[in-house]
């Protein structure tokens, strides 16, 4: 992988594309943590791939390529999300606004739909990508303690939902 | 610990859900393919420009490819006139030789490794193993410790001057597959104050490596086998940069050589300023524009000769010679001053490129790669008295690296714990 990154840093587009394919699924899941519609996920992915290619020469540590890539993706998702914020805030104002409708039946989407919108990306980064709470805090610009409490709260929501389904 | 330790059934359910693939989306796939197409188009652009469709701002911008500098056309080749500059003879035996005269003259000299060794992307205790460069014997320079080059006068034998810039080689450290240099770069004029990076400069470097039989092998960017392309460090003021350079490459082994000429052809700062250029992508009709970032290039050459014919790099080899039923295994572990790597054993027909060896320290944490080579591990700050080696299929490794490294033991096709303290 390091060789691919090095080649990409030297301007090899095919190596860069190979890297994007390697991390495609991880990137998609992070993007779905922000959005519940395909158009926004598609825009965030496209923007991130182009931004990463544009700036790969600035990557300091080859080993941190994935982290660097995810950071760009989160920045783009945050920017896009904030540009839609008035609409999002309106949705949040209604009860259970976070029960989004995702495209297609899928356990990944099922889980996301149980979580509050702002907790979804945290869950994906923590459980899906195995980042630490400290790293997630740095990614999202929030305190580590906030990340921990959101994970705890989100897990409680999911635990209750599981119990409800089992008792039903 | 910043990962929460509590694990229960809910965690397992969450992890299982998170591990399931998201459904394919034509819309997403199309956007990704558009990005790839754009990248491939940019590859064919003469100016190597890159484009960005900025959806958020609703405009298209194209920027210059990478921060890494490109060779300018018509670059001077190394000629005989610089051979004089290469006459710096640096006896680099295993003894540590200090030079108080120079150290007093330039306060950084002799301490650059110490100040930067933990901050670079290839951390190591270079200061503990460095060779502080000795003064030339008086007869070597005709009684004068003066280095005369075409473009300037250096006051000590390990300084080179060109274009008003003095490069001082402060310390050197060797490992079996790398040379580490500590440089002090002093510029009569100011360095650019609008550089994109404040902790590195790009460089172009040619290394002529000499074998015992006097034959020479040249490593340079132009041949695609360059050993270094940047110096990492810090600007101590507007005229001074101190930095480290790691010279290494795939298959590069210092024991193959007895000495080398290291020629720094130039140092480059990429700036935040630039010029807007308008053009059309190959195969596209849309007119696009991009920023051609300015670069400030400091032309050399600065040449240094290193003689390591007497060098004995410390290397510990521990035989393992174990395989599994399929014939996969480990032949031996090799530990140097800064690195540790394993030599794997493969059954007939297996492609070594399809497998990766990882090594975990005595505390059960994976060692990070040292520099660019994936399978050479850094031992800096780690307890490697006993290590565990895992041989993984490449595809499994990709899924089990970084924060997912904890999965390596269960996915390894071979593993062995090796005592290195003996």
Domain ranges of chain A: 2-167
What pLDDT score does B56 carry? Answer: 37
From B245, B278, B307, give the residue that closes a domain.
B307
What pLDDT score does B103 carry? Answer: 46
Task: Let me know if residue B52 belongs to a domain.
Answer: no
Task: Let me know if residue B30 belongs to a domain.
Answer: no
What pLDDT score does B44 carry? Answer: 53
Q: Cα dist. B107→B100, B170, B247 in Å? A: 10, 11, 25
Q: What is the pTM of this model?
A: 0.51
Pairing of strands B287-307, B59-64: parallel
CB contact (8 A) between residue A10 and residue B66: yes
CB contact (8 A) between residue A57 and residue B372: no
Q: What residues have CB less than 8 Å from A30, skipping those under 6 apart?
A: A70, A73, A74, A77, A121, A124, A125, A129
Chain A residues inside the 8 Å CB shell of B63: 54
- Based on the fold, state whether residues B292 and B323 are members of the same structural domain: no
Nearest residue in chain B measured CA to CA from A40: B28
Give residue-wise pLDDT tens across range A82-94: 776 554 444 444 3
Structurally, how many domains does chain B consist of? Answer: 2
- Based on the fold, state whether residues B296 and B344 are members of the same structural domain: no
How far apart, in whole angstroms, are the C-alpha atoms of residue B332 and residue B345? Answer: 9
Q: Cα dist. A17→A11, A53, A76, B23 in Å? A: 11, 9, 19, 21
pLDDT (average), residues B258-286: 78
How far apart, in whole angstroms, are the C-alpha atoms of residue B361 and residue B367? Answer: 6
* Nearest CA-CA distance, residue A90 and chain B, Å: 21
* Structural tokens at position B197: 């990076």
CB hemisphere CA count around B356 (13 angstroms): 24
- Based on the fold, state whether residues B336 and B302 are members of the same structural domain: no
Cα torsion A142, A93, A125, B36: sign: negative
- Select from 1.10.260.40, 1.10.3080.10, 1.10.1740.10, 2.60.120.10 the CATH code of A2-167: 1.10.1740.10
CB contact (8 A) between residue A2 and residue B374: yes
Nearest residue in chain A measured CA to CA from B371: A62
ipTM score assigned to the predicted complex: 0.86
pLDDT (average), residues A31-54: 89
| Cross-chain CB nearest to A38 (options B10, B27, B54) | B27
Nearest CA to A87 among A128, A154, A36?
A: A36
CB hemisphere CA count around B367 (13 angstroms): 36
B198–A contact, CB cutoff 8 A: no
pLDDT (average), residues B260-274: 90
For B150, the domain range is 80-307
* Nearest CA-CA distance, residue B42 and chain A, Å: 8
More confidently predicted of B408 and B140: B408
CB contact (8 A) between residue A158 and residue B63: no
How far apart, in whole angstroms, are the C-alpha atoms of residue A102 and residue A115? Answer: 13
More confidently predicted of B419 and B293: B419
How far apart, in whole angstroms, are the C-alpha atoms of residue B366 and residue A154? Answer: 30
* Nearest CA-CA distance, residue B189 and chain A, Å: 26
CB hemisphere CA count around A112 (13 angstroms): 31
Chain A residues inside the 8 Å CB shell of B400: none
CB contact (8 A) between residue A41 and residue B25: yes
| Cross-chain CB nearest to B20 (options A43, A103, A108) | A108
How far apart, in whole angstroms, are the C-alpha atoms of residue A164 and residue A14? Answer: 49
* Nearest CA-CA distance, residue A58 and chain B, Å: 6
pLDDT (average), residues B51-67: 35
pLDDT (average), residues B265-271: 91
Most confident of A30-39, B78-87, B105-114, B210-219: B210-219
- Based on the fold, state whether residues B182 and B125 are members of the same structural domain: yes
Q: Is the pLDDT of residue B369 over 50?
A: yes
Count, in order, helices (H) and strands (E) of chain B.
7, 22
B32–A contact, CB cutoff 8 A: yes
What pLDDT score does A53 carry? Answer: 92
Task: Let me know if residue B45 belongs to a domain.
Answer: no
* Nearest CA-CA distance, residue B68 and chain A, Å: 6
B282–A contact, CB cutoff 8 A: no
- Based on the fold, state whether residues B183 and B264 are members of the same structural domain: yes
* Structural tokens at position B228: 């270094």
What pLDDT score does B261 carry? Answer: 94
CB contact (8 A) between residue B11 and residue A127: yes
What pLDDT score does A161 carry? Answer: 77
More confidently predicted of B382 and B223: B382
- Based on the fold, state whether residues B85 and B173 are members of the same structural domain: yes
**B190: confidence class by pLDDT, cuts 50, 70, 90:** very high
CB contact (8 A) between residue B11 and residue A155: yes
* Nearest CA-CA distance, residue B340 and chain A, Å: 17
From B307, B330, B362, give the residue that closes a domain.
B307
pLDDT (average), residues A133-146: 83
Q: Is the pLDDT of residue A103 over 90?
A: no
From B288, B307, B326, give the residue that closes a domain.
B307
Residues 348-407 of B with CB under 8 A from A: 368-369, 372-374, 398, 401-404, 406
Nearest residue in chain B measured CA to CA from A81: B56
pLDDT (average), residues B70-84: 26
Q: Is the pLDDT of residue B48 over 90?
A: no
pLDDT (average), residues B348-365: 88
| Cross-chain CB nearest to B4 (options A38, A49, A151) | A151
Q: What residues have CB less than 8 Å from A127, skipping those under 6 apart?
A: B11, B14, B15, B18
* Nearest CA-CA distance, residue B184 and chain A, Å: 21
Chain B residues inside the 8 Å CB shell of A124: 18
- Based on the fold, state whether residues B137 and B283 are members of the same structural domain: yes
**B42: confidence class by pLDDT, cuts 50, 70, 90:** confident
DSSP string, B69-134: PPPPTTPPPP-GGGTTGGG---B--SS----HHHHHHSTTTT-HHHHHTTTSSS---HHHH-EEPP
Any bridge partners for residue B161, and if so which?
Answer: B166
Q: Is the pLDDT of residue B366 over 60?
A: yes
- Based on the fold, state whether residues B298 and B395 are members of the same structural domain: no
How far apart, in whole angstroms, are the C-alpha atoms of residue B254 and residue B257? Answer: 6
**B134: confidence class by pLDDT, cuts 50, 70, 90:** low
Most confident of B141-145, B237-241, B333-337: B237-241
CB contact (8 A) between residue B16 and residue A127: no
B11–A contact, CB cutoff 8 A: yes
* Nearest CA-CA distance, residue A96 and chain B, Å: 20
CB contact (8 A) between residue B22 and residue A1: no
Q: What residues have CB less than 8 Å from B172, skipping those under 6 apart?
A: B90, B92, B130, B131, B133, B179, B180, B181, B182, B306
Please check whether residue A7 is in contact with residue A47, taking contact to mean a CB–CB distance below 8 angstroms: no
């Amino acid at each position: 992988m390091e060789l691919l990154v090095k080649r990409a840093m030297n301007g090899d587009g095919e190596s860069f594309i190979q890297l994007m394919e390697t991390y495609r699924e991880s990137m998609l899941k992070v993007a779905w943590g922000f959005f519940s519609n395909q158009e926004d996920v598609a825009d965030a992915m496209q923007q991130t791939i182009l931004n990463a290619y544009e700036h790969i020469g600035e990557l300091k540590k080859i080993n941190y390529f994935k982290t660097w890539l995810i950071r760009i993706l989160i920045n783009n998702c945050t920017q896009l999300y904030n540009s839609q914020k008035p609409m999002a805030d309106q949705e949040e104002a209604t009860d259970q606004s976070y029960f989004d409708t995702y495209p297609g039946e899928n356990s990944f989407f099922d889980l996301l739909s149980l979580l509050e919108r702002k907790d979804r990306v945290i869950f994906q980064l923590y459980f899906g990508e195995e980042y630490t709470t400290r790293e997630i805090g740095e990614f999202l610009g929030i305190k580590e303690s906030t990340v921990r409490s959101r994970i705890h709260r989100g897990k409680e929501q999911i635990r209750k939902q599981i119990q409800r389904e089992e008792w039903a | 610990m910043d990962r929460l330790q509590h694990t229960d059934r809910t965690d397992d359910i969450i992890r299982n859900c998170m591990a399931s693939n998201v459904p394919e989306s034509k819309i997403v796939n199309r956007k990704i393919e558009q990005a790839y197409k754009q990248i491939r188009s940019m590859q064919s652009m003469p100016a190597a420009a890159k484009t960005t469709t900025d959806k958020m701002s609703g405009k298209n911008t194209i920027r210059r490819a990478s921060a890494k500098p490109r060779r300018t056309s018509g670059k001077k080749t190394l000629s005989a006139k610089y051979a004089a500059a290469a006459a710096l003879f640096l006896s680099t035996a295993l003894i540590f030789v200090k030079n108080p005269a120079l150290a007093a003259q330039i306060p950084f000299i002799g301490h650059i490794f110490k100040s930067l060794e933990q901050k670079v992307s290839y951390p190591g205790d270079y200061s503990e193993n460095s060779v502080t460069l000795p003064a030339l014997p008086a007869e070597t320079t005709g009684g004068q410790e003066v280095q005369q080059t075409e473009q300037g006068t250096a006051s000590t034998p390990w300084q080179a001057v060109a274009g008003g810039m003095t490069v001082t080689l402060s310390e050197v450290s060797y490992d079996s597959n790398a040379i580490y240099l500590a440089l002090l770069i002093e510029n009569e004029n100011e360095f650019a104050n609008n550089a994109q990076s404040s902790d590195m400069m790009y460089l172009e470097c040619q290394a002529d490596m000499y074998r015992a039989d006097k034959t020479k092998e040249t490593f340079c960017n132009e041949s695609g086998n360059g050993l270094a392309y940047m110096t990492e460090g810090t600007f101590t003021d507007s005229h001074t940069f101190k930095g480290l350079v790691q010279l290494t490459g795939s298959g590069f082994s210092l024991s193959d050589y007895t000495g080398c000429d290291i020629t720094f052809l130039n140092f480059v700062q990429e700036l935040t300023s630039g010029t807007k250029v308008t053009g059309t992508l190959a195969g596209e009709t849309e007119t696009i524009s991009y920023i051609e970032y300015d670069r400030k290039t400091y032309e050399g050459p600065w040449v240094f000769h290193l003689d390591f014919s007497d060098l004995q790099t410390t290397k510990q080899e521990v035989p393992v010679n174990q395989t599994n039923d399929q014939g996969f295994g480990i032949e031996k572990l090799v530990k140097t001053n800064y690195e540790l790597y394993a030599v794997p054993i493969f059954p007939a027909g297996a492609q070594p490129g399809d497998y990766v060896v990882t090594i975990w320290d005595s505390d059960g944490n994976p060692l990070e790669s040292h520099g660019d080579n994936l399978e050479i591990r850094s031992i800096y700050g780690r307890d490697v008295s006993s290590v565990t080696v895992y041989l993984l299929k490449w595809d499994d490794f990709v899924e089990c690296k970084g924060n997912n490294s904890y999965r390596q033991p269960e996915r390894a096709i071979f593993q062995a714990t090796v005592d290195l303290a003996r």
